[in-house]
Amino acid sequence: MKQTEVLVIGAGPSGSIAAAQLIKEGIQVTVIEKTKFPRFVIGESLLPRCMDILESVDLIESIKNKGFQEKFGAKFIMGDDSCDFNFSEQYTKGWDWTWQVPRADFDKALIDEVEGRGAEVLYESTVENVEFLEDEVITTFSHEGKSEQISSKYVIDGSGYGRVLPRLLDLEEASDMPARSAFFTHIKDENRGDGADQNRIQVLVIEPETWFWMIPFSNGVTSVGFVGDLPEVDVENPREFFQNMLEEHEYLKDRFGKCDFVFDPKLITAYSISVSRFYGDRYVLTGNSTEFLDPVFSSGVTFALESALKAAELVAKELRGEEANWETDYVNYIQTGVDVFRSYVNNWYDGTLHSIFFAKDIKQTIKEQICSVLAGYVWDKSNPYVKRHGSAPKTLAKVINYNF
C-alpha cells in the first residue's frame, strides 16, 4: 500500500496550491487526478487577489514565463453605455493586474511546477472510496485498470466539479442560487484588433438576466460565452445554434460572425453548488468542492486558491500537533468572502449593479471601492462596499435613481 502524509484529490488550481503550501512546510504530498493533463476547463479570467496567493507559494515567476495575457481590468457594456474598472484604481492595496488564461495551459503549468518540487502526481486515477480509521485514512482508487490503496494522515479535496468527498460522504447540498446556464466556446478572434480590450474581460449585458463574456488570450483565441436565462439550446447542432445567437446582436456579429470555432460550444446547466459542511475529521473541502456561485465576476479560481492555501496551512498546523481553529480560520473566513460575492451576484441579476455601473456620474472613491470587490479583495472590511455588501450597493442604486 502506498503511503503519504497528505493526499490531495484533484490537480487543478486548488489542489496545486494546497500541495505547494504543504511542500513548502516540509510535508509529503500525493495528488490524485482523474484526468490526463492538459485538459479543458473554464474559469479563465483570474482576479488580482489570485496573485497574492500565487506569490505566497512562490509560483508567480513560473507562471510569468508562460506568456499568458495580462489583465488590467473589466469592461461592462449595455446598449450604447459602457463602464471600465481599472484595477490600478482600486481602493484596497494589492495587485493591480492578473492574467487571462487558457485553463488547460495554466493548470498544467501549476501542477508541473508542484510535481517538480516533490509532489507525486497520479493522473488518470479515480477515487472509489475513502475510509477513516483510527490512525490513518485509506483511500481506494483505480489506476491503469487496477484498484489500489493509499494511506494518509489527511485528505484535501480539491476535485472541483468532481466533488469527490461531497459525493462519497453525502455532503452535497442544493445551492440557494437560481438555476442558470452557461453556453460557451473558444473562437479564433481575427477581428480583435489592438488596444485595451485585449487586457481586460468584457461583459456585454444582453437582457437583465442574460450576459455574454469575452476573454481574450495571448494566443489569438478568445473565450466567449452566454450566461443566464438562455433559450433551450439545440445540443445536436451547437455550432449553428451558437452562431445564430451571436448574429442576433450587432456587436457580437461584427466581432465574431465570420470567425472559426476552436471546439463545439459546450453547455453547463444549474452550475451553482453547495455543501452541508466544509471540513470534518481529517478531511477538508476546497474550491468548487465547497461552493460555486456564478461566473459573472470570475470569483471561482480566487476561492479555489484562497481556500486551498488556508486549508493547507491549517492541515500543516494539525500535523505539527498544534491546534487549528477550523470554524474561525477556515469556514467563517471563506464564507465571509463567499457572502460578499453572493451579494454582488444577486445585485447583478436584479439590476442593482446595472444602475450603478452605467450611471453617468459615480464618485471616483465609490468606483474604487467597488473595483476592489471586483479585484477579489472581499476580505477588506475597511472597504464599505465589502463591510456593508448586503445594503451598500442597493442604497447607492436608489440614490442614483433618485438623482435621475
pLDDT greater than 70 at residue 402: no
Determine which helix (DSSP H) or strand (DSSP E) holds 269, and give its type and residue range.
Answer: strand 266-269
Residue 322: Cβ-neighbour burial (10 angstroms; 0-12, 13-18, 19+):
exposed
Q: What are the phi and psi torsion angles at 205 (to 5°)? A: -80, 120
Q: Are residues 180 and 345 in contact, defined by beta-carbon separation less than 8 angstroms?
A: no
Q: By three-state DSSP, how is residue 205 classified?
A: strand
| Residue 287: partners with Cβ closer than 8 Å, 6 or more residues away | 10, 12, 13, 14, 158, 160, 300, 303, 304, 307, 308
pLDDT tens-place string over residues 30-78: 999 999 999 999 999 999 999 999 999 999 999 999 999 999 999 999 9
- How many whole angstroms separate alpha carbon 353 and alpha carbon 337? 18
| Whole-number pLDDT of residue 316 | 98
Q: What is the pLDDT of residue 172?
A: 87
Query: Within its chain, how far is the Cα of 320 from the centroid?
Result: 30
Q: Which pLDDT band holds residue 274 (cuts at 50, 70, 90)?
A: confident
Strands (DSSP E) found in 61-199: 69-71, 73-78, 81-86, 98-100, 120-122, 125-132, 137-143, 146-152, 154-157, 172-173, 181-188
Mean pLDDT of 177-205: 89
Overall average pLDDT of the 258-284 stretch: 90
Look up cell 490524485; give the residue: 32
State the chain's mean pLDDT as an integer.
94
Q: Can you say whether the dihedral through the CA atoms of 297, 261, 99, 114 is positive or negative?
A: positive
Q: Residue 144 half-sphere exposure, CB side, CA atoms within 13 Å?
A: 2
User: What pLDDT does residue 121 have?
Assistant: 98
Which of residues 333 and 195 earns the better pLDDT score? Answer: 333
**If you search the block for the grid coordinates 481599472, which residue do you land on?**
86
* Residues of the chain above pLDDT 70, percent: 99
For residues 32 and 145, give the distance between their C-alpha atoms in angstroms, rounded to a whole number.
15
DSSP 47-69: -HHHHHHHHHTT-HHHHHTT-PE
Q: What is the mean pLDDT of residues 335-347?
A: 95
**Window from 9-23, 44-58, 259-273, 294-308 with minimum mean pLDDT:** 259-273
Measured distance CA(162)–CA(166) in Å, rounded: 9
What was the pLDDT predicted at 331?
Answer: 96
Contact 113, 127 (CB under 8 A): no
Compute the average pLDDT of residues 308-331.
97
Nearest partner of 360 among 390, 322, 404, judged by Cα: 404
Q: Regarding predicted confidence, which is higher, 196 or 46?
A: 46
Residue 193 CB partners (closer than 8 Å, separation 6+)? none
Spatial contact of 298 and 345, defined as CB atoms under 8 Å apart:
no
pLDDT at 403: 52
- Rounded CA-CA distance 384/228 in Å is 28
d(CA 260, CA 19) in angstroms, rounded, equals 38
If you average pLDDT over residues 214-226, what whole number do you get?
96
pLDDT score of 404: 45
Question: With left for phi above 0 and alpha for psi between -120 and 50, is residue 342 left, alpha or beta?
Answer: alpha
Of 277, 24, 58, 19, nearest in space to 152 by CA = 19
> Which has more confidence, 193 or 399?
399
Q: Do the Cβ atoms of 353 and 208 come closer than 8 Å?
A: no
Query: Which pLDDT tens digit goes with each residue over 68-106?
Result: 999 999 999 999 999 999 999 999 999 999 999 999 999
CB-hemisphere CA count at 13 Å for 14?
Answer: 32
HSE-up (13 A, CA, CB side) for residue 366: 16
Distance, CA of 309 to CA of 20 (rounded, Å): 9
Q: Please report the pLDDT score of residue 178 as a whole number.
A: 81
Quick one: pLDDT at residue 161? 82
